Amino acid sequence: MSTDPSIVVVRNEVQADYEYHCDALASYFPGARAVDFPAGERFDPDTVDGVVLSGSTAGVYEADDRPWIRDQERLVRELVDREVPTLGVCFGHQVANSALGGTVRHEGMTARLVEVELAGDPLFAGVEPVVAASHGDVVTDAGEDMAVIASTDYYHAFGTRHRRAPLWTVQFHPEFTGDIRDQLAEDFDWTETDYPFADVNAPRVFENFRSLVTGPDEHVAHRS
């Protein structure tokens, strides 16, 4: 009998007013365990099948003031070593690359729908090339063994994946849909573009990740 995978959603938001993006992400993983990392909650990587690292209004370069960031970088390295399927979203994308020796810096806010070039990776199966971005920081150099799998005209390392371990990361927010567009406009000075939210089906990323968690052999065949 098959059972649902044990997935942990690591919540990284540090400001209560912005926790709705963590709520939106968690809604795509019903039954997952939520871990509030900034609040000091932790988990044993040996006890889970998959991990999702959420976004945050914190920056990875704030580790001196936010010691939990270095804890999460250590967690990322442990997940890679143990080959636990992991997906990093926005801040999760940045902290994963930073943990593996990459660099992140602040370059100014982008909050809009963007066109993205997606590699032929199983994480992006069926995903349309228009996604929601809301970030001020960028990965300027990907981490060691992290291959770029998504790019935009303003951001080369918009998505990455580890060449040997089942680690994927995306700068965009698959959880952002038209349902929270007004909240995004209020909080992040959302910019309208020629792309409507009707063109966005990025939550498919979460479905694909769940499939990768339940079928771990798939990541081996795609190694680059």
- Name the residues annotated as catalytic: 90, 173, 175
Residues 6+ apart with CB under 8 A from 16: none
Sheet holding 155-162, edge to edge: 33-36, 7-11, 50-53, 86-89, 167-170, 155-162, 146-152, 117-118
- Strand pairing report for 155-162 and 146-152: antiparallel
Query: Which residues lie below 8 Å from residue 23, measured CB to CB, with a gap of 6+?
Result: none
* Whether the Cβ atoms of residue 9 and residue 31 lie closer than 8 Å to each other: no
Alpha-carbon distance of 23 to 20, in angstroms, equals 5
- Asked whether the beta carbons of 21 and 54 are under 8 A apart, the reply is yes
Q: Which residues pair with 150 in a beta bridge?
A: 118, 159
Whether the Cβ atoms of residue 42 and residue 10 lie closer than 8 Å to each other: no
d(CA 166, CA 76): 11
Rounded distance, CA 143 to CA 168, Å?
12
